[in-house]
Amino acid sequence: MFQYQVPKTFLRRAGPYLKAFFIPTGELLASSLALEFWRIHKIVSAKNIEKTYKDGQDLSNIITEEKRLLAIYGSKTIHLIEAIIKYDAEKVIRPKCTFNIISKLPPLRDWIHDVRWLYDDSNTSIIQEISSHQSTSNLSTKKINNSSELAVAFAHNFVEIWDVQQLCCVYSIQCEDLCILCSARFFGNTRDSLILASGTAFNQVILWKITQKNEKGRGVVFKRLIGHEGSVFGVRFNDDGKVIASVSDDRTIRVWKITDDNPKPLILYGHMARVWDCLILNDHLISISEDSTCRVWHNRISRNMNDDDISDVDCLACWEGHVGKNIWSLAINPSKTIVATGGGDSGIRLWSLSSVTNNKIDSEKDLVKITLPSVDTYIQLNESSQIPLPSREHVRNFVLVDYCTIVIATNFGCLLKHNYITNEWTSLNNSTNLQNYTMMKASKCGRIVCCGSIDGNIYVISVNKEFKTIKKKLHEFKVFEIFFEESSDPDIIYVISHAVHNDIYILKLELNCKINNVPKFEIYHKLLVPQNFLLMSLAFCPPHNLLVCGSRESGLIIFNMTHNTIDRKLDKSTIELSPVIYLKDTHRKQAVTSVALKFNSSESNNGDDLLNIYTSGRDGGYVKYRLRCLPTSGIYNNSEDGSKIIESCHNGDYLLEKSVDDESLSINTNLDLISGYDLILEEIYRAKITKGWIEKVMFVDDELILLGFYKKRFFVYNDTKKFEMLSIACGGAHRVWHFKAQDKRMNKASFMFIRKENVFIYSRETTISNDGFNEYKLQENFHGKECRNVRFLSYSPKVPHNYRLFKSDPIIFATGAEDSLLRLFQYIPDEKENRLFSLCSIKKHSSVIKNIEWSFGNELLLFSCGASEELTCWKVEIDVSHNQKKTSTQTPFVNINCLEWASCPVVSEILETRIMDTSVCSISTNNEYHIIAAVYSDSILRVWLFDEEKRSFFLIGMSKFHNKCILQIENVVIKAKESMTEDGILLFTSATDGRIAVWDISHYIHSYLVSYTTELKFQHHTPYNLGTPIFSYQAHQSGVNCLALHQMTNLTTSNFIKESYMVVTGGEDNAIAAIILEFTYHEFKGPNSGIRIINGSTILSTSIDQRLNLWNITFKNLINNDEISEQSEESKFELIKSEFVNVCDPCCMDVLRINDGNDKNDKLMIATSGIGIELFQINL
């Protein structure tokens, strides 16, 4: 968790692991289990570095090898590690890094808060002597030649100095202030100069000298820093030791000049939760907090602040790259340019400190204000006197044609080109029609500006005077909006013009087809939009002839321009087009501000994929859709002759079913899947990014960039890398603004807006090719809060073949957590480190996710449930990534789409009821039907039918037996055999009162399914009362937290089937209970039950003592009656193996059996999760 950096390489802790990363590329160089059972709290490097140079001398100045000595500690343990970094002399390949454990200090007396290497120049010779003396006997000690003493600060405010050669304590001192510390930090490199700053649980920072004792032999406090209102969680010195930063429970950072007699601290408020650490740099302070942000502040105290200098804006940046709770660790590289943070979410991120000044624009002086030249330079005032000019000249509108060139429309109706670098002004056009009002847009290429007037005229103007201005009377009334859409031919540009009364045309501008120096500019289509659809944004896809439009009323429509034969002809050239797809309320009733299209790059097995559509909205989010062809219509092509496609559509059931009105306009308000003609639109992903507005979604170098306004600022957010790239104080959202960026690092970018009738410009062009690193994330993050459930996707034999992607299936699992995120991960074994690769992360649940279940039906489904009675069904599509396909030897990376498929209705009468657990099975003969048994915190068991085709939940039945919160549920399907006609379905439930109940719901399920499938007009009837359990028993004193079933050997006779199940439960009472239940199915009759203890088995358990235990259960006594036998004294649990689990509060576990095609080599993959996740592998 706490790191230490050397140039370009970077060391960090993750639990007990010590890892090294190479910063320029983000690669992991080494990973070592360095501290066994303890978390590494800090890595402290000795000062001296043993360097080896090329050619054996330092003449070449090329280092080929570096050795450094590290002290790492956690809890009460210190280990000394040697880190060897080997550099490639030619710098072609990345360095190699290895860690060797040199020695371990014996267990120490108390919790360690800090360690420090001590040096003493006068003793160097002695140390070397010791080293050489010992080198024969102890292989390791010869390496400790630069420092032999380690100072250690403990939680009870005492310090010990350890000789690391002899591994013994040579000095010990207790501070006179007997106080529990929450933090401590040394300053000084020698024993005599060493001081300790102790951050106490009683809100103080105590400074004391290690060698200065009072008459009782205790360390004397020489300074107290008083002012914090809560425990002090972190203390840091600056480089010269004269300034201290302390952070606290009170959410403040206080910076103290300790050279002052009564230091008055600089107090910084801003973090929304407890602050854990704060680094002091010359100009900046960098802090990390429980609020999962890292903030950068002005360091006013180091720059001799005076009170007049106080600015409101102390916080320069708030980096939000971690999720959930807590950033625990913070480090900076030696040149103080790159900041690294480690979160409670297991993620490690890098941040560029220079970006703080580059990417946060607060000052007016960074903005260029454009002032119009005097009017007589571009308009002859007397000449146009027949129409009076407006009273005042000012900027009306403007567009950005280049990074430094804009075109301004003035109130007098003039169009002026302005290069603000050269300060050149060029008049492009004057028109009285454009007085007082001008709607304008520029083409992306910057060659053309298009203006719309208040009287419905459209002007097409060449910025570089390539052609004569085109004027076209297109509309009756005012032009609202103009859009430019490029085609693959740079000389063909589409213009969409939108005027009052939904008068919308799409026109085609052909620049290489000029008559009298005027390009061809003709109406292509007239577009008909639904009522209450005020066109606000659009994107055109010429290859597919599709136009996607968003409205102010949150609607989304798609026009199919190929589809033209059935439309009425207005005149010989104008075709009226109606949308084929209309989706309402796509952005929570807020405006759809932009549409972006992206072609599916991967040649997936679904060749019918057309493209992905992204929309942004004023709800602060963006949505990703997928547009596909109906499978029946074949491959969609660019043919202008659409007749074939239409034909096939008219024959398809889909169209008949979905076409609802005479205009063949399909309108659907609720479903995410809409089909119109041959197209299917599906919502794939939705995310909320800001409390403000998102005004634009776009792709820069394939990274998803969102532009928006929040409070008084304009921001640029990189959603691919999850961080804010640029933030400009512009005063708030503006009606007219433009942004242009050349590269994903925003090295060349311009942002311009109109404020108070003036154009303001922020523009930059930097040559910094990068910040010293390419990858913002060094390590993928996990959930930011406790993970509640983990479920492997198991490729069981019954899984249909099309889900089986490879010989060795990729290992995929789903997790749900307190942070309400549903996530999917792929586990990728790697030579250095087995990695988790985040496939997707979905925020849909409003609160904790309690359980997730996979189910194979016609499609692969995933059910997630949790608080507020949320039960959601997801359709998961797994696809092998295109570029990985060829490397068949390695496990392929997969692409995953997780589509929200359906939500279960809320039925409990009690508010805030939670769904505690679910158990899902699909009925074998009818794959589209899934049975979901769910247990609720209102103590009711509810059983649902999910119809995959209709995407609906139906409540089959419910029952209340436990009268307590039900915690767990599992199901067992007993396959119909011989004379049995139907599968038996048993449910096992457990509750907070320690009871286990067994239910037979077969009859209810089958009779419900019969009426559901046979009744043509199925009327949803009153749910069944599922009655009482067939059997129940008391397994624990209190809550049963886990429940596992295992099928034992079974006997089948001609008349009845016997099946035995072992039920193993784990409780809040720290106990594990195992019981064997035997069920006998008689012919055509319901089951009865009896218990017999017959066999032994192996179980795995995990609990909050952080151990994964493997048990063997032996049942010795064979009792043959129908009674329960709880007296199993002769049966016993035998602990076979116990592994330490690094995950805190483990609360869920799942097991995957892996078969590499060789039956003998079955392995078990075990995932345990709580705060973090850990995977184990057991060979069977």
Partner 1 sequence: MGKSSKDKRDIYYRLAKEQGWRARSAFKLLQIDEEFNIFEGVQRAVDLCAAPGSWSQVLSKKLNEIRPEDAPLPKIVAVDLQAMAPLEGVIQIQGDITKVSTAEQIVSHFEGELADLVVCDGAPDVTGLHDMDEYIQAQLLLSALNITTNILKPGGTFVAKIFREAFIVCQNYTPPKDYKPTMIDPLLDLSYSSGNELLGPNRVIVPFIACGDLNGFDSDMTYPLEKKSLDPLQPPISAPYRTAINLKQNNFYNKIS
Pick the piece of the chain touching partner 1 (CB under 8 A) from 471-479, 763-771, 789-797, 912-920: 912-920
Footprint of partner 1 on 563-592 (CB under 8 A) = none
What whole-number distance in Å separates Cα of residue 485 and Cα of residue 539?
7
Pick the piece of the chain touching partner 1 (CB under 8 A) from 630-638, 736-744, 853-861, 960-968: 960-968
Q: Which of 180, 566, 570, 1180 binds partner 1 (CB under 8 A)?
A: 180
**Shortest Å distance, C-beta 709 to partner 1:** 14
CA angle 41-43-49, nearest 5°? Answer: 175
Give the E-state strand segments of 1002-1069 in sequence order. 1024-1025, 1031-1034, 1040-1047, 1051-1052, 1056-1067
Single-letter amino acid code for the residue at 704: L
Quick one: which of 909, 913, 958, 908 has its CA closest to 933? 958
| Site residue total, partner 1 (CB under 8 A) | 80
Footprint of partner 1 on 222-261 (CB under 8 A) = 228-231, 233, 248-252
Of the pair 316, 416, the CB lying nearest partner 1 is at 316
- Please report where in the chains the tokens 């039906």 appear, as a residue: 857
**Residues β-bridged to residue 254:** 246, 267
**Shortest Å distance, C-beta 975 to partner 1:** 35
Of the pair 510, 1069, the CB lying nearest partner 1 is at 1069
Q: Does residue 990 bind partner 1 (CB under 8 A)?
A: no
CB-based contact 916:868 (threshold 8 Å): no
Q: Which of 11, 42, 74, 810 binds partner 1 (CB under 8 A)?
A: 74
**Shortest Å distance, C-beta 967 to partner 1:** 7
Q: Does residue 302 bind partner 1 (CB under 8 A)?
A: no
Footprint of partner 1 on 117-176 (CB under 8 A) = 155-156
Q: Which of 286, 315, 646, 704 binds partner 1 (CB under 8 A)?
A: 315
Footprint of partner 1 on 271-300 (CB under 8 A) = 272, 274, 290
Footprint of partner 1 on 516-555 (CB under 8 A) = none
Of the pair 618, 788, the CB lying nearest partner 1 is at 788
Of the pair 15, 550, the CB lying nearest partner 1 is at 15
Which residue intervals of 627-741 are DSSP H helices? 643-651, 653-658
Strand order in the sheet with 556-560: 535-541, 546-551, 556-560, 581-583, 667-668
| Residue 741 buriedness (CB in 10 A; 0-12 / 13-18 / 19+) | buried
Contacts of 462 (CB under 8 A, 6+ apart): 447, 448, 469
What whole-number distance in Å separates Cα of residue 956 and Cα of residue 987?
14
CB-based contact 609:603 (threshold 8 Å): no
**Residues β-bridged to residue 1090:** 1078
Q: Which of 27, 50, 110, 719 binds partner 1 (CB under 8 A)?
A: 110
Q: Which of 993, 1000, 1059, 1078 binds partner 1 (CB under 8 A)?
A: 993
Instruction: Give a three-class secondary structure readout of 1120-1170.
Output: CCCCCCCCCCCCEEEEEEEEECCCEEEEEEEEEEECCCCHHHCEEEEEEEE
Q: Which of 148, 203, 346, 675 binds partner 1 (CB under 8 A)?
A: 203
Of the pair 58, 1105, the CB lying nearest partner 1 is at 1105
Q: Does residue 967 bind partner 1 (CB under 8 A)?
A: yes
What whole-number distance in Å separates Cα of residue 120 and Cα of residue 141?
18
Quick one: which of 137, 134, 156, 154 has its CA closest to 145? 134
**Shortest Å distance, C-beta 1133 to partner 1:** 11
Q: Does residue 994 bind partner 1 (CB under 8 A)?
A: yes
Footprint of partner 1 on 1147-1176 (CB under 8 A) = 1171
Of the pair 230, 772, the CB lying nearest partner 1 is at 230
Give the E-state strand segments of 290-358 in sequence order. 294-298, 315-319, 327-332, 338-343, 348-352
What whole-number distance in Å separates Cα of residue 247 and Cα of residue 694?
35
Q: What is the DSSP string of 836-867?
A: EEEEEEEE--SS-EEEEEEEESSSEEEEEEEG
Pick the piece of the chain touching partner 1 (CB under 8 A) from 204-212, 789-797, 895-903, 963-971: 963-971
**What are all long-range contacts of 910-915, with beta carbons under 8 Å and residues at least 24 apart?**
910/938, 912/867, 912/868, 913/868, 913/869, 913/937, 913/938, 914/848, 914/850, 914/866, 914/867, 914/868, 914/869, 915/850, 915/851, 915/865, 915/866, 915/867, 915/869, 915/870, 915/871
**Shortest Å distance, C-beta 3 to partner 1:** 16
Of the pair 230, 241, the CB lying nearest partner 1 is at 230
**How long, in residues, is the chain?**
1180
Footprint of partner 1 on 39-68 (CB under 8 A) = 39
**What are all long-range contacts of 159-163, with beta carbons under 8 Å and residues at least 24 apart?**
159/196, 159/210, 159/219, 160/108, 160/109, 161/118, 161/191, 161/210, 162/78, 162/105
Beta pairing, strands 395-400 & 338-343: unpaired
Footprint of partner 1 on 1034-1073 (CB under 8 A) = 1037-1039, 1068-1071
**Shortest Å distance, C-beta 608 to partner 1:** 43
Of the pair 1040, 1167, the CB lying nearest partner 1 is at 1040
DSSP structural state of residue 643: H
Footprint of partner 1 on 1081-1110 (CB under 8 A) = 1106-1107, 1109
Pick the piece of the chain touching partner 1 (CB under 8 A) from 314-322, 460-468, 640-648, 897-905: 314-322
What whole-number distance in Å separates Cα of residue 845 and Cα of residue 1175?
26
Pick the piece of the chain touching partner 1 (CB under 8 A) from 42-50, 168-176, 1043-1051, 1136-1144: 1136-1144
Q: Does residue 178 bind partner 1 (CB under 8 A)?
A: yes
| Residue 76 buriedness (CB in 10 A; 0-12 / 13-18 / 19+) | middle
Q: Does residue 844 bind partner 1 (CB under 8 A)?
A: no
Of the pair 328, 827, the CB lying nearest partner 1 is at 328
**Shortest Å distance, C-beta 153 to partner 1:** 14
Q: Which of 33, 310, 910, 1180 binds partner 1 (CB under 8 A)?
A: 910
Of the pair 1005, 1141, the CB lying nearest partner 1 is at 1141
What whole-number distance in Å separates Cα of residue 787 and Cα of residue 819?
8
Of the pair 219, 984, the CB lying nearest partner 1 is at 219
Footprint of partner 1 on 340-359 (CB under 8 A) = 344
Of the pair 564, 781, the CB lying nearest partner 1 is at 781
Q: Does residue 1138 bind partner 1 (CB under 8 A)?
A: yes
**Shortest Å distance, C-beta 201 to partner 1:** 8
**Shortest Å distance, C-beta 1177 to partner 1:** 16
Pick the piece of the chain touching partner 1 (CB under 8 A) from 198-206, 406-414, 418-426, 584-592: 198-206
**Shortest Å distance, C-beta 162 to partner 1:** 17
Tokens representing 224 are 């107290």
Q: 702-741 mask for partner 1 (x: CB under 8 A)? A: ---------x------------------------------
What whole-number distance in Å separates Cα of residue 1035 and Cα of residue 990?
9
Q: Which of 54, 109, 191, 740 binds partner 1 (CB under 8 A)?
A: 109
Say how many C-beta atoms besides its own lie within 10 A of residue 108's C-beta: 17
CA angle 652-657-662, nearest 5°? Answer: 100
**Shortest Å distance, C-beta 177 to partner 1:** 12
Of the pair 343, 579, the CB lying nearest partner 1 is at 343
**Shortest Å distance, C-beta 1024 to partner 1:** 23
Q: Does residue 875 bind partner 1 (CB under 8 A)?
A: no
Q: Does residue 326 bind partner 1 (CB under 8 A)?
A: yes
What whole-number distance in Å separates Cα of residue 579 and Cα of residue 582?
7
CB-based contact 915:934 (threshold 8 Å): yes
